[in-house]
Amino acid sequence: MTYRRIILSAVYLGSALFLLTCDWNVPQGSKAQPAQKSEIFAGEQSPFVNIAEQVLPSVVNISAEKVVEERRRFEFEYPFRDLFKDFEKFFKELPPSFRGKETNLGSGFVMSEDGYIVTNNHVISGAEKIVVTMYDKTVYRGDDVEIVGWDTRTDLAVLRVHSEKKLQPVKLGDSDEIRIGDWAIAIGNPLGFRGSVTVGVISAKGRSGLSLPEGPTQQDFLQTDAAIHPGNSGGPLLNIKGEVIGINTAIATRTGYWQGIGFAIPVSIAKNVYQQLIEKGKVVRGWLGVYIQELTGDLIEALQVKEGVLVTEVMTESPAEKGKMEAGDVIVEFNGKKIESIPQLQGAVSETSPGEVADVVVIRDGKEKKLRVEVGEMPDEVAFEDIEEEGKERGWLGLIVAALDSEKARDFDVEVEEGVLVVEVELASPADEAGIMSGDVILEIEKRKVKDLNAYEKISSDLENEEGPFLLLIQRGSRKRFVAVTPE
């Protein structure tokens, strides 16, 4: 079965999320035509009966077989790695301890009469054999099944079955018009049970930040309580008219199975991806070249803005840098579209053609500023926590810091040249509450550069009696982010 365990980033739930997305948008000459007038409500039966009868012939079962290898793994963390490196090397050179076949079961649906089908990329990823079974039990395998393309950022893939007869495509709805509380119907093959239909409502919109190891990284999920299980991956989520509004993608659960929280990729995202996979075999996206984060309550107060997306870092030689964008800018509008969240910005930028000049409105130092940025093409590789030792400074905001040239910094394997290293964060301190961690490097405080320990001491002394919140720019690993810290 295709499913994956993840932990929700906001709250530790011991949660398992199962991805079940798919993608669509029809090639010219093969497009599914929108319904002129729905007849779903004809007769006296439940509307769900007619929806099932209408859509089930378009939903397919996908079986993807691949060869997997598992090696004996003996890995040691610092400081034991040097001591056991020969031992570790010996075991890594052993032959595979297991080699066998693994079958993923998922769902998909027909997009055109000539056999284009949408499913999850994670359903078919790495597959050597793919079998597609229609609702009428017609089976396609071997040369009759073609992988048209896939997109890891949205976890979408397109197949094509070569059939002698015309297939029945789904009808597409408008996910932008969906409201919280609207009916939602999921159809797929949960746990291998073919053609299963479940009913719920749209519980929320715009969900993002789910930690899904295999994607999608571009997230703007619809949340539903229509039951979804492993095997639903790639199946359609429908509105009350029987139109596809989303692709069942993931669940949040403590047990590995359904607990009332499921996620689907909106059809508005999937359409562009599907069309490009059909026409080009890949997805070309617009790119700014910035790292970004959502605005929290403290950041909103510190930056004196109400909404938008915060730029934490501008990549060198990127379109954003050439367009004079800066770290600390808050993007509030992109090409006339109001920006309130990361998914909105990601969607607006990715759908912009490379080479197009975009009008971007940012808030900088409390004032609105208009920029013109020539959007680039997204590169393939980007695709949008009581010490008295010498050299340490402690106390302010609950932070214990050290110089970057100290022995402690070498232990943390810090690779930046300027700043101070956070060695420890006092429990329940303002810094701890703001999410600062040991190993972070403080680069700026209130937009004043922290070049070294002396600069940190001077800035912290100047701010010691101020109320805050204070805006800190930190680096964690290779990524930078802003943090707002409010003193006690």
Residues belonging to the binding site for substrate are 65, 122, 155, 231-233
Residues belonging to the binding site are 65, 122, 155, 231-233
What does the alpha-carbon distance between residue 60 and residue 159 come to, in Å, rounded to a whole number? 11
Beta partners for 202? Answer: 224
Catalytic positions? 122, 155, 233
Among the listed residues 148, 142, 114, the one whose alpha carbon sits nearest the alpha carbon of residue 130: 142
Angle at 469 between CA 468 and CA 475, to 5 degrees: 125
What does the alpha-carbon distance between residue 87 and residue 74 come to, in Å, rounded to a whole number? 8
What does the alpha-carbon distance between residue 235 and residue 186 come to, in Å, rounded to a whole number? 7
Tokens 């012939």 belong to: 57
Among the listed residues 431, 429, 461, 434, the one whose alpha carbon sits nearest the alpha carbon of residue 448: 461
In whole angstroms, how far apart are CA 361 and each of 283, 327, 332, 475?
Answer: 27, 14, 6, 26
Biggest CA pair distance of the chain: 82
What SS3 string covers the chain?
A: CCCCCCCCCCCCCCCCCCCCCCCCCCCCCCCCCCCCCCCCCCCCCCHHHHHHHHHHHHEEEEEEEEEEEECCCCCCCCCCCCCCHHHHHHHHCCCCCEEEEEEEEEEEEECCCCCEEEEEHHHHCCCCEEEEECCCCCEECHHHEEEEEEECCCCEEEEEECCCCCCCCCCECCHHHCCCCCEEEEEECHHHCCCEEEEEEEEEEEECCCCCCCCCCCCCEEEECCCCCCCCCCCEEECCCCCEEEEEEEECCCCCCCCCCEEEEEHHHHHHHHHHHHHHCCCCCEECCEEEEECCHHHHHHHCCCCCEEEEEECCCCHHHHCCCCCCCEEEEECCEECCCHHHHHHHHHCCCCCCEEEEEEEECCEEEEEEEECEECCCCCCCCCCCCCCEEECHHHEEEEECCCHHHHHCCCCCCCCEEEEEECCCCHHHHCCCCCCCEEEEECCEECCCHHHHHHHHHHHCCCCCCEEEEEEECCEEEEEEECCC
